[in-house]
């Protein structure tokens, strides 16, 4: 069943999730080449997101091939670093 349209400028759940993924991606790009654990990353972003919502954002980025998790560490993939550099010239 499709999501109902948002009311009065509200974001849909999908839009909110996409915005969070973008924020996490940008934050990781700013930290590159530093690597953090998922918990450290969440704290470095102010800890303002719930654990499940934040984990969903990491899953979305991982499934898109933009991040990888080596053990506890989260890092951008080589392709993501290159794309970010190209887009921010």
In degrees, rounded to 5, the angle at the alpha carbon of residue 63 between the alpha carbons of residues 60 and 66 is: 85
Burial class (CB in 10 A: 0-12, 13-18, 19+), 77: middle
How far is residue 17 CA from its own chain's centroid? 9
Contact between 62 and 77 under an 8 Å Cβ cutoff? The reply is no
Place of tokens 């898109």: 64
From the list 42, 82, 34, the residue with the least C-alpha distance to 58 is 42
Is the domain spanning 13-87 CATH 1.50.10.20? The answer is no
pTM recorded for the entire structure: 0.85
Boundaries of every domain in the chain: 13-87
**Per-residue pLDDT at 5 exceeds 80:** no
State the pLDDT at residue 66.
Answer: 97
User: 21-67: per-residue pLDDT in tens?
Assistant: 999 999 999 999 999 999 999 999 998 888 899 999 999 999 999 99
Greater model confidence, 23 or 1 = 23
Going by pLDDT thresholds of 50, 70 and 90, the confidence category of residue 15 is: very high
């Amino acid at each position: 069943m499709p999501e109902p349209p948002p009311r009065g400028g509200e974001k849909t759940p999908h839009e909110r999730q996409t915005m969070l993924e973008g924020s996490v991606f940008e934050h990781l790009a700013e930290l590159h080449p530093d690597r953090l654990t998922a918990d450290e990353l969440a704290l470095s972003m102010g800890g303002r997101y719930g654990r499940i919502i934040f984990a969903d954002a990491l899953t979305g980025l991982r499934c898109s091939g933009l991040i990888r998790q080596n053990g506890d560490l989260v890092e951008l993939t080589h392709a993501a670093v290159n794309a970010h550099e190209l887009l921010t010239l």
